[in-house]
Structures are given as C-alpha cells and as structure tokens.
Amino acid sequence: MTAVSGRQLFRPWPRTLGSRLFLIFLSGLIVAYGLSFSVLFSERYVMVEAMLLGNLEKDVTTAVALLDRLPADERADWVGQLDRRTYRYTLGPGRPGVSGVAGLGAEMADTIRKAVGDRFPVTVQSIPGAGQRLQAHLTLSDGAPLTIDIYPTTMPLAKWLPYVLMAQLILLILCSWFAVRLAIRPLVNLANAADALDPNKNAPRLSENGPREVAYAAIAFNAMRDRIAQYLQERVQILAAISHDLQTPITRMKLRAEFAEESVEKQKLLQDLTEIERLVHEGVAYARSAYGNTEKPSRIDVDSFVESLVYDYQDTGKAVTLSGKIEATVVTRPYALRRILTNLIDNALKFGEVAEVCAGRDASGAITIRVLDRGPGIPAEQLEAVLQPFFRLEQSRNRGTGGTGLGLAIAQQLSHAIGATLELSNREDGGLAAQITMA
C-alpha cells in the first residue's frame, strides 16, 4: 500500500474546517471540565474523609467513656443509640478476623486508637467477606468486651449526579457546535458569494453586518465585486462604441464599392465588407446581451412561442422541425429568449443544415428546449470553450462558414440574464445538442 492510499484509508482527522474546530473546541472543554471535576471531587473526598475521621474520634471517645461508666445491665439500652452509618457498637468479643488493614480502614483504626488512648488497648482486624469490614476489639474497666464494627466508606455520591454530568456534557456539545457554526457561517457565506459571483446579475450583496473582521471581509468582497462589474462594463461599452462607430465608415465603403466597375476584386471587396459588417453587428449584439436583464419580464405560453419561431423559419424554406409539448406558461424576457433560440437554430442550420427543436421537461420538472443538429459536433474538451466570445473551431467549423464566434457567447450571456442555463453536448449518433433549461 502506498503512502497516499494509506492516508486515504486511515483519515481520522476531519476534512472540514467546521468539524476540526468543533473537535478541538469540544475536546478542550471536555478536558478542562474533566480536570475541574477531578479537582473538585478530590477536594470533596479529602474534606469528607477528614470530617468522617474527626467525627469518629469524637464519637468513639464519648461512646467508650459512656459505656465504661454505665452499669453492665444498662449498657445494652444505650448501645443502639450510639450507632452511626459507618460504624456501630456490639457488647461482646465480635467475630474473629485477620490482621492487616489498609486504606481508609487503616486511618479509621489509627483514629480509634487515638480516641481510646492507652487506657483501653485496641486490636483492629479485617473481617473476611464481601466488601471491606473491620472490627476493633477492646476491654472495658470491668473486663467486659466491646467491639466496634466498622464499614469504611465515605459519603456516597448523589443519585442525581450522573444526570447532571450528562446534562452538562450535552450543554458543552451544543455550545461548541453553536460557537463553531457562528464562526464558520461568515466564511461559508463568503465562499458561496464568491462561487456565485456574476457581475452581470443583480444578485444581492453580501451582508456587511456582524463582527468587525466579518464586516471588513464582506465590505472588501463587495468592493471587489463592484470593481469587476465596472471593468466588465467598461470593456463592453468600448466594444459597443467601436462596433457602432464602425458601421458608418463600413456603409460608406460599401457604397463606394458599388459604384466601382464590375470586376473580381469588386466582388471580393464587397464580400469582405459584408463580413466586417456582420462582425460589427454581432459585436453590438454581444454588448447588448450583457444587459439583457433590462428587458421587462412577461408571461408567455412556451408552446406557442416556440411554434411561432419555428414556423417563421419554415416560411423562409429552412429545414427546422418541432416536436414535443410543454403546455405551460413561464415568466421570462421573450426577446432575449427568442434571440437565444435564434442563435442556436442558426448555428444548427449553419453546421448541420437541419435543426430539430424539442420542447419538454427534465426529471426535476424544469422546462427544457433542445436544439439538435446533425453536424460534426464539438470535441468534448472544447464544449465549454465555445461559449466564450470570439472562440472558433478551426477544424470542425472553419471560417468558410462565415461565423463570427459570438453566436453561442451571446446565447450563453442572455441565458444568464433570464435565469436559464445553456448546456452543450454531443449526440451519440452524431451532431450537437444545445439545451436551454428554465425553472
């Protein structure tokens, strides 16, 4: 197994920034919480143990002195009243045990010896059985045996403590998740805004509210977006101005060429001027397509709209066919949509001689209009490139066809302007498929 495959197979570290921050933040809080709980629990244990041993010393001192002074026949009435939770008194020798006491039992044994003193020698033994149990044996002044039965244990934990700990852990998880989400959300919004950045669309600006750093990043992003939109607008305006200003001298040149004597050079000159004029018109059309969203939207019947367009082509003798029914209306910009379909149909007729228009819906129910041809198609690696302005395929679609390289770019630009998507794909049996999808 290679190093790369090993890293891919064992990937314990989360890949998203939010998961990593959540894991680090939560782990730190849990460790800090665990240390604090351990310190508090240890302090509580020490305090309870000191209190237990202190009370034991006082109780044993008092109880042994009391029982030693009472008459033998009255001791049984008092023994039960001297019992405590962790130890009790028994008149008698008790049970035999084994020597050797450790832990809390050893501390309790030393406390009993200290409480009784040298007057009553004490023997402490461990009683075999379940749990830790001790017995301290001593003899009173009149020779009567007394046994102190000891169950070494500190104060038990409250039953509600595990539920409180679980609730606190859940609260830590929720607070960590909320804090990470609050910190990551501006970054996600910025990434989404950058991914959806389109200066030609009137998309909402990134919110400039929030903490100072977030607001500063949002202001910088909005300023960058405005600068990009301004640069693109200036370029389009320059293209439109140049294309518009070229129309007048081109027209004058054509008029002068018309008055020239008939010759082969005259026909070639007129063809070149016609080509230049077409390029200028396409340049103006592309510049206008950048502002296709200025047209007022209206509701149209899709089937009637497409039929009207196809019939116009058929009336001029073009090989354009229509199939499919949508039976739906849509709110869109009709002139922009008509220009899109016109460019796609012209493109299909130019390179495939026949155009098939198919109306329908996709799997999600969105309206689709497909324009199919039987031309040479487009190499798969250049399907995206042909949507760029002035891009031409020199081999499959040569300059002899008279294209300007702006038809598909204008269709793509107007598709964005009306909120539709344009996708190109090669047909399995040959030809190109251009699909417009509208929600």
**Is 339 domain-assigned?**
yes
Q: What is the pLDDT of residue 398?
A: 44
Structure confidence by residue, pLDDT tens digits, 400-424: 454 566 778 888 888 888 888 999 9
Q: Does residue 1 fall inside a structural domain?
A: no
The reported pLDDT for the residue numbered 402 is 46
- Identify which of 64, 106, 55, 112 has the alpha carbon closest to the alpha carbon of residue 89: 64
Asked if residue 346 and residue 204 are part of one domain, the reply reads: no
pLDDT value for 220: 87
Kindly state whether residue 343 falls inside one of the protein's structural domains.
Answer: yes
Q: 309 and 342 in contact (C-beta within 8 Å)?
A: yes
7 in any annotated domain: no
CA distance 433 to 373: 7
Q: Is the pLDDT of residue 369 over 90?
A: yes
Q: What does the block give as tokens for 288?
A: 């206008």
* Residue 12 banded pLDDT, cuts 50, 70, 90: low
Residues 27 and 146 in one domain: yes
Quick one: average pLDDT of 261-285? Answer: 77
Residue 290 pLDDT > 70, yes or no?
Answer: no
In a domain, 260, yes or no: yes
List the structure tokens of 331.
């709110």
State which of 247, 266, 290 marks the end of a domain.
290
84-to-112, 304, 321, 369 alpha-carbon distances in Å: 14, 98, 103, 91
Average pLDDT, the chain: 79
Report the first-to-last Cα separation within the chain, whole angstroms: 48
pLDDT digits (tens, 9 = 90+) for 97-126: 777 676 777 777 788 788 877 778 887 877
> 174 with 76, same domain?
yes
CA distance 369 to 320: 14
CATH number at residue 265: 1.10.287
User: 276: which 2 tokens?
Assistant: 């230049």
Looking at the structure of the chain, the number of domains it has is 3
Same domain, yes or no, for 357 and 283? no
Boundary (domain end) residue, out of 290, 318, 344 = 290
Whole-number Å distance between alpha carbons of 197 and 189: 12
State pLDDT tens for residues 59-78. 888 888 888 888 888 888 88
CB atoms < 10 A from the CB of 86, how many?
17
Count Cα atoms within 13 angstroms, Cβ side, for 364. Answer: 6
Is residue 5 domain-resident?
no
What range does the domain containing 417 cover?
A: 294-438
**Same domain (yes/no): 428, 322:** yes
What is the per-residue pLDDT across 151-202, written as a single tens digit (0 to 9) for each? 777 666 667 777 888 888 888 888 888 888 888 888 788 878 777 776 666 6
The model's pLDDT over 374-385, given as tens digits with 9 standing for 90+, comes to 888 888 888 888
Say if residue 341 is in the same domain as residue 404. yes
Whether residue 289 is predicted with pLDDT greater than 70 in this model: the reply is no
Contact 81, 75 (CB under 8 A): no
Residue 357 has pLDDT above 90, yes or no: yes
Q: What is the pLDDT of residue 397?
A: 44
> What pLDDT does residue 2 have?
45
pLDDT over threshold 60, residue 47: yes
Domain edge (last residue) among 242, 274, 290: 290
